[in-house]
Structure 1
Amino acid sequence: MTTLPPLPMTRPKLAALARKKLPCSPGKIPRSQLIKEKNDIDHYLEVNFKGLSKEEVAAYRNSYKKNICVDMLRDGYHKSFTELFALMEQWDQLREAARIRSLSWLQKPLEEQPDKLDYFYHYLTRAEAAEREGSFEEVYKNLYSLACCFDNSEDKWVRNHFYERCFKIAQFIKIDGGKREAEAHSHMGLLYEEDGQLLEAAEHYEAFHQLTQGRLWTDETGCFLNLLACESLLRTYRLLSDKMLENKEYKQAIKILIKASEIAKEGNDRKMEGEACYYLGLAYMSAGEYETALTVLDTYSQISTDLNDDLSLGRAYEAIAKVLQSQGKTTEAINYLEKVVKLARNNFQSLDIVRASTMLGDIYNEKGLYNKASEYFKQAFDTTVALMNMPLMDETKVHYGIAKAHQMMLAMNNCIESENITNLDYLLSWKENRSDIEPQP
């Protein structure tokens, strides 16, 4: 859970008094004295805090959450109170739902998190005051700050609530050329993307992209918003295309990935352009359009070479080898896979070595070249042993065992078919010790 930094703020009267009795504050009052019955608390206050008003006594008696709400109402922030009260009700409903499902939700009750209550009071009241003055940009700024305060896995629903509020407010901001509106579309796109609603996410990212075209706007980290829009659209389009390919909707997947490729070129980021070519090439391969797939993947390999990106180049070669293998061009596929193994070894990419070696073993096994197949399967198996990856180790062990069996079977058949006493004696000797049968020249 994200730890919220304390707010540099002057707290309202009741909240300031109430905070002194919080268990998390460095007060000198023992907590045991503060949980007594009402009469005992009144007596304690009368003895130790003579001259307190009824409000001050109430501040000590009531919960911090209640005092925050009272301060909002007393200071005239009725909209803030209504919104906070609705959020607190939803907070309790979520906790109750988790309890009914017997889930161990570690989120504390809101009344036990005074820092979050302070954030609610601080930003909600300022947003309401700015709204009364018609300063929508200030409203947006406060609501967005509040959303950032709850940008963690536990409170994501609170963050999403304020993202939606920011989106509505951004429609009224006209003095910034649409920058706030663009940011709001970005936040809404993320909201829908995380929820798995990819079509809705794509709509917001497209609006984000359109609003940032030709603009030099940057975010708080200095990154260009147009580049972020391109990256967000590419990510969403790729996820959409994955679902389309699973459903064998090849034309739709290719269409959306072509659009992604065009957007990547606009972003002036060569690495991003290469990634778009890679996924487009895989889509063409899935659709059986092998020549087009090779053309697109060759573009990806050229971009990777220009960028001196060996990892991307290895991935391009592996994809090209798969296409060539599907076309029956095994010799060319072998050449590319050997390049993949070399690049992976130079860059200590063990999993790439396993994957390429297994593919090479499969090709040689299909060709009946069991010695070479056994050699590459052994290379894959030895690599998984070094990695201590048990699932992969078991898988490569099976491939290696099958290749060794084929290798021995070939030698055994040669001995049987030769029909001479020497080879039969050789087979009988093997039956006794079960060692490897060396293949006959």
Structure 2
Amino acid sequence: MDAAAAAKRRRAGSLLPEVTSKRGRSSQNRAKPDNESLHTSSEWDESAQVASKREIALFRNSLKQNVCVRMLQEGNHRSFSELFYLLQAERDRRAAAEPSSALSSELRPLLEEQREKLETVRLHMCEAEQAERTGSWPAMCEHRLFLGQFFSAPEDQLLSLHFFHSCADREQGRSSRPATEARACMAELYLQQGELEEARQQAELCIRQAEDGGWLDLSGRPLRLRARQTLWRIYDQLAVAPMDAANYSEALELLHKGYSMATESDDKQIEGEAAHRLGLAYQRTGDHNTAKKFFNTYMQICVTMNDAGGIGKAYKAMAKSMESEGNMEETIRCLEELVHITRINGLLHNLADACLLLGNIYCTTSHYIRALEFFIQGYEVSCETGDVSLQQKAQVLVARARAQSLLGTYGADVVSASPGALRRLLVWKNTRETLGAQSRLHRAES
């Protein structure tokens, strides 16, 4: 029986695992994956700490180099060449500038040092190049127009002009809407710089292209009207030099061209200003009848627009022509209207000026008491404005009018020689002597 039990245990033992030995192997097997996991985690941490070549380059290289490399990697070789030229040209201008000029100032960074601007240039130049490759000329011009408008700061005007020209002067796309708007922008920019002939050329080209295409700018304004408004200002500036040189025929020709542009601009304010400028030019030549016609046109436009300042300017100009013609009654009427308009609209500087002008007219006609009244009004208003130079001018005019009024009375008494006149002369003489003695005493004490 014992033998049978032992045999039974041997048969069962072959089916049961060895507890001790199996446990050891199981522990070893469990430890091995843990070691592998630790080894893998260590490798991952090490790889995470090692930067790629691109990341190292971004860190070590300059902003300019990184941007240029990216453009080349993306295959935009023409954009790279253009940008490199612009950056080098800016460096050359900085090197050639006078030490005291704003261009050489160390406070003003170069384009290659300004991340936002440089990235904007890269993006839109590359987009423009891609559009050019596919023949999408309007899209190409849109990107270049954007860059021209993006560089709106005064120190970036050369960059702005570069992108405007690259938008408008290309053979393909030069008649597109963005190219036409670029010409309008260039006309305004050249006008700011005083390059009047270049501004005139760009504005005229813009008008021709806008008439053909009926384009609107990004704000929804017709480009043909915008260019006409700019061209009026250009003609107005061009007329300054011949007018100063007394070359009136040339100046009037330019001003008439400007007036024509203004009337076609659908802007009544500009049309009124152009009429006023033309009237002043005719006034300067001595043709007061024609001048008054343009002043009347200006006044009517200002009345329509409820422009009190413009109405006052029209009355002032009209009064000057009336005075030149010797029509003092109409001159006084115009100036009195000017005083009334400026007073009710609270235009203090204009009111003070109008009072002084009217006082001068009354002095011219020997109405010194009336002149004194307006000079005093002008002085009081000038005190409200705080304009010291205007106050001093008014003080001189008040003193002059007061002296002239006294001299008029004194002269009449001298001519009269009546007992009453003689008594007034003696009183006046004694008063002047007393005042003179007091003044001398005051100066001696001081």
**TM class by smaller structure:** 0.7 to 0.9
Mapped to 2, the partners of 1:235 and 1:387 lie a distance apart of 31
**Is the CA contact (8 Å cut-off) linking 2:141 and 2:179 kept in structure 1?**
no
Question: Given the two structures, how large is their TM-score scaled by the length of structure 2?
Answer: 0.80
User: Is 1:183 matched up with 2:181?
Assistant: yes
Q: What are the ranges of 5 or more consecutive residues in structure 1 without an aligned counterpart?
A: 1-46, 436-441
1:378-407 Cα deviation digits (max 9, x unpaired): 222222211111222222322222222222
**Is the CA contact (8 Å cut-off) linking 2:410 and 2:425 kept in structure 1?**
no
Mapped to 1, the partners of 2:226 and 2:197 lie a distance apart of 18
**Is the CA contact (8 Å cut-off) linking 2:145 and 2:179 kept in structure 1?**
no
Mapped to 1, the partners of 2:203 and 2:94 lie a distance apart of 33
Q: How do 1:385-404 and structure 2 match up within 5 A?
A: 385-404=383-402
Amino acid at match of 2:151: F
C-alpha displacement at 1:160, in angstroms? 1.5
Mapped to 2, the partners of 1:215 and 1:126 lie a distance apart of 25
The equivalent position to 2:360 in structure 1, one of 359, 362, 366, is 362
The corresponding residue for 1:343 is 341
Give the number of the structure whose alpha-carbon radius of gyration is greater.
2
Amino acid at match of 1:286: R
Question: Given the two structures, how large is their TM-score scaled by the length of structure 1?
Answer: 0.80
User: Is 1:259 matched up with 2:260?
Assistant: no
**1:406 and 1:49, CA in 2 relative to 1: closer, same or farther beyond 3 A?**
farther
C-alpha displacement at 1:114, in angstroms? 0.9
Mapped to 2, the partners of 1:86 and 1:71 lie a distance apart of 16
85-94 or 327-336, larger mean C-alpha shift? 85-94
**1:90 and 1:411, CA in 2 relative to 1: closer, same or farther beyond 3 A?**
farther
Aligned length: 387
C-alpha displacement at 1:110, in angstroms? 3.2
The corresponding residue for 1:74 is 73
The equivalent position to 2:227 in structure 1, one of 205, 212, 229, is 229
**1:215 and 1:126, CA in 2 relative to 1: closer, same or farther beyond 3 A?**
closer
The corresponding residue for 2:87 is 88
Mapped to 2, the partners of 1:189 and 1:372 lie a distance apart of 52
The corresponding residue for 1:378 is 376
1:267-301 Cα deviation digits (max 9, x unpaired): 34433332222111111111111111112222222
1:70-91 Cα deviation digits (max 9, x unpaired): 2122222222222222222233
1:226-272 Cα deviation digits (max 9, x unpaired): 22122111111111122221111211122222222233333344333
Q: How do 1:319-338 and structure 2 match up within 5 A?
A: 319-338=317-336
C-alpha displacement at 1:215, in angstroms? 6.1
The corresponding residue for 2:172 is 172
Amino acid at match of 1:357: C
1:7-55 Cα deviation digits (max 9, x unpaired): xxxxxxxxxxxxxxxxxxxxxxxxxxxxxxxxxxxxxxxx997432334
**Is the CA contact (8 Å cut-off) linking 1:98 and 1:105 kept in structure 2?**
no
Mapped to 2, the partners of 1:415 and 1:163 lie a distance apart of 78
152-161 or 103-112, larger mean C-alpha shift? 103-112
Q: How do 1:7-406 and structure 2 match up within 5 A?
A: 50-97=49-96, 100-101=99-100, 103=102, 104=105, 106-169=107-170, 171-173=171-173, 178-213=176-211, 216-406=214-404
1:322-357 Cα deviation digits (max 9, x unpaired): 111111112111101111111111111112112222
Mapped to 1, the partners of 2:82 and 2:159 lie a distance apart of 11
C-alpha displacement at 1:434, in angstroms? 4.2
Amino acid at match of 1:202: R
C-alpha displacement at 1:105, in angstroms? 6.1
Amino acid at match of 1:130: A
Mapped to 2, the partners of 1:215 and 1:316 lie a distance apart of 39
1:107-138 Cα deviation digits (max 9, x unpaired): 22334421111112111111122222222211
Identity of aligned residues (%): 32
Amino acid at match of 1:338: E
Specify which structure has the bigger relative contact order, considering alpha-carbon pairs within 8 angstroms and separated by 6 or more residues.
1
1:136-163 Cα deviation digits (max 9, x unpaired): 2111111111122211122222111111
The corresponding residue for 1:42 is none
1:295-314 Cα deviation digits (max 9, x unpaired): 22222222333333332222
Q: CA RMSD in A?
A: 2.5
**Is the CA contact (8 Å cut-off) linking 1:415 and 1:427 kept in structure 2?**
no
C-alpha displacement at 1:178, in angstroms? 4.6
C-alpha displacement at 1:214, in angstroms? 7.6
Q: Give the 4+ runs in structure 1 shifted more than 6 A.
A: none
Mapped to 2, the partners of 1:180 and 1:62 lie a distance apart of 36
Mapped to 1, the partners of 2:155 and 2:149 lie a distance apart of 13
Q: What are the ranges of 5 or more consecutive residues in structure 2 without an aligned counterpart?
A: 1-45, 437-446
**1:433 and 1:85, CA in 2 relative to 1: closer, same or farther beyond 3 A?**
farther
Mapped to 2, the partners of 1:110 and 1:277 lie a distance apart of 45
The corresponding residue for 1:21 is none
